[in-house]
Amino acid sequence: MTKTAKPSATTRGLTVLLLALSALACRADEARGLLVGSWDLVAVENRGTDGAVERPFGERPQGRITYTADGYLSAHVMHADRAPFATGGLYSGTPAEKAAAYDSYIAYYGAYSVDPAAGTVTHKITGSLFPNWTGSSQTRYYALQGDELTLSTPPMERDGREITVHVVWRRAAAP
């Protein structure tokens, strides 16, 4: 009869750690799978700790965020009532028209990762209309309820008050 050696405590510990990491990776893949697809914009709200609610893109904002299965994303948010340039030319708007166009639109693209334990999705931004976001990571809390996805910022200070931004998306219907 041959006796087999028992695994050491270190080996058992490493095995448990690897199993735990594998389970976390599966949870991250599962969470990422829930986000995959295109989502149409429903609302953008800046909520102050004082109870005030602002809608910087108006009552009927438009936009879409798309998450791909291989970890990329593209996001666009705009005010529904954007004025066209008087000349109709892509580069020939007046300074005021260009400023209004910039102030009524945000777009960025990059990669994303999901941390289901923290309930967050991190957008690793490759390029953005807002140049300060290019090369940054933007972490958002996510909540899924049926076909609605809400992305919320951690609390931040803006104009001397604390706010959180809540962006609500609805899963896009097939074209």
**pLDDT at position 23, please?**
41
**pLDDT at position 134, please?**
98
Residue 1 belongs to a domain: no
d(CA 105, CA 78): 4
d(CA 135, CA 58): 28
Residue 2 belongs to a domain: no
CATH of the domain at 61: 2.40.128.280
Residue 112 belongs to a domain: yes
Residue 100 belongs to a domain: yes
Sign of CA dihedral 102, 105, 111, 115: positive
Mean pLDDT by 10 residues, the chain (175 residues): 60 50 51 89 96 95 97 97 92 94 97 95 98 97 96 93 96 91
Residue 19 belongs to a domain: yes
Residue 90 belongs to a domain: yes
The domain in which residue 105 lies consists of: 9-171
Reduced to 3 states (helix: H, G, I; strand: E, B; else coil), residue 60 is coil
Q: How many domains does the chain have?
A: 1
Residue 16 belongs to a domain: yes
d(CA 128, CA 37): 20
In degrees and rounded to multiples of 5, residue 85 shows phi and psi of: -70, 140
d(CA 26, CA 32): 10
Q: How far is CA 37 from CA 68, 72, 138, 147, 173, in A?
A: 6, 11, 19, 11, 10
Residue 3 belongs to a domain: no
Q: Which class for 67: exposed (0-12), middle (13-18), buried (19 or more C-beta within 10 A)? A: buried
